[in-house]
Amino acid sequence: MRLPLSTLEIFDAIAREGSFKGAANRLGLQPSTVSHQLKTLEAQLGTALIIRTTRSLSLTEAGRALLRGAGPAFDQLADAVESAKATGHEARGKLRLAIPEFAYKLLVGPAVKSFRTAYPEIELEFSFTDAFSDILGEELHAGFRLGDRITQDMVAIRLTQPLKLGVFASPAYLEHYGTPGHPGDLLNHECIRYRFQTSGNLAPWTFVNDGTDYDVEVGGHLTVNTLPAMVDLAQQGQGMIWTFKNYCREEIEAGRLTSLLEAHLGETPGLYIYFPREYRTMIPLRLFIEHLSKVRE
């Protein structure tokens, strides 16, 4: 038998209010409707639930048993409804994000501390990935990617300008193996390649000539699937790397890496955050996007 939830709600209201009129006011119904629905519930259960007199109303043994079991359930349902109404509409709750390592280092990581200070009741959860995540399937709220090419049911907001690319090597490596003057020279060098964690493909080393992009099929004895390891190996003098210029900014400024072939390098599309259209009014997400924009400025 299907649970008679509507009539159970009316019974719960009658028991709590102690009268048909009070239950009717609470539920926004007519007293006659409340009385009729109670009779329907009693008929379905095959037992009387309430004893009515001209002066008072009391529960039968069956009524008290039903109230003991159903009352807490309706309290939980009421709490669940209020929680659902509040979720995403207050500066609190969980915000789950899919994010590539480079996006965390370039933009998100530096903003976490100040965001947590401003909104201490918002819980951040980062899922590190280099894939275009299935936001809904993975129960995430948003993701980051280069460019705004997304499915039609998603919203994309640009967070950065296009990101410059670069080739980098340590001074020790260049002193030992020489400095390339053209992308083609990389074929004679040890290059540390990056393999995408999800697709398993190697990241191409892309260059620009007269406005046209082209790839160089570099070789090397080291392949990694994490950017921090790739940069660390380059600093050790193990080879050259191709990645975002800003990602290596600290290493360049400290003299641990040297930027190469700058005249032959282009840029990638800007970094975007994308999310389902239904999350456009989600306050934790909106506050996070606004905060990232302020930090970037």
Range of the domain at 180: 163-268
DSSP notation for 210-267 = TTEEEEE----SEEES-HHHHHHHHHTTS-BEEEETGGGHHHHHTTSSEEE-GGG--E
Q: How far apart are CA 147 and CA 50, in angstroms?
A: 65
Task: Kindly state whether residues 111 and 146 are assigned to the same domain.
Answer: yes
Say yes or no: 156 and 191 in one domain: no
* Residue 270 in tokens: 């800007």
Query: Model confidence over 28-59: pLDDT tens digits?
Result: 888 888 888 888 888 887 888 887 766 667 78
Crossing angle of helices 5-17 and 20-27, rounded to 10°: 120
- Do 65 and 140 fall into the same domain? no
- Same domain for 62 and 105, yes or no, is no
Q: Indicate the residue among 24, 57, 86 that finishes a domain.
A: 86
In a shared domain, residues 185 and 254: yes
Do 151 and 199 lie in one domain? The reply is no
Name residues of the chain where pLDDT drops below 50. Answer: 88
**How does DSSP classify residue 162?**
P
- Calpha distance 66→129 (Å, rounded): 50
Do 151 and 174 sit in the same domain of this protein?
A: no
User: Domain boundary residue among 43, 68, 86?
Assistant: 86
Task: Tell me the whole-structure pTM to 2 decimals.
Answer: 0.68
Predicted local distance difference test score (pLDDT) of residue 28: 83
Predicted local confidence at residue 4, as pLDDT = 62
CA distances from 18 to 23, 39, 59, 140, 235 (A): 8, 16, 10, 45, 77
CA-CA-CA-CA torsion for 78, 81, 83, 87, nearest 10 degrees? -170
The answer on 224 and 180 residing in a single domain is yes
Alpha-carbon distance of 171 to 179, in angstroms, equals 10
Note whether 57 and 154 are same-domain residues.
no
Please give the pLDDT value at position 81: 55
3-state helix, strand, coil in the chain (%, to 5): 45, 25, 30
CA torsion angle 107 109 113 119 (round to 10): 70
Which CATH number covers residue 216? 3.40.190.290
- The domain spanning residue 9 has which CATH number? 1.10.10.10
* 254 in the same domain as 132: no
- pLDDT (0 to 100) of residue 69: 74
Q: Which of 56, 86, 116 is the last residue of a domain?
A: 86
Kindly state whether residues 213 and 246 are assigned to the same domain.
yes
Cβ atoms < 10 Å from Cβ of 49: 21
| Upper half-sphere CA count for residue 256 (Cβ side, 13 Å) | 12
CATH code where residue 142 lies: 3.40.190.10
On whether the CB atoms of residues 119 and 284 are closer than 8 A, the answer is: yes
Give the tens place of pLDDT for each residue, 228-276: 999 999 999 999 999 999 999 999 999 999 999 999 999 998 999 999 8
Residue pair 208/266 in contact by the 8 Å Cβ criterion: yes
- Are 56 and 187 in the same domain? no
Total tally of structural domains belonging to the chain: 3
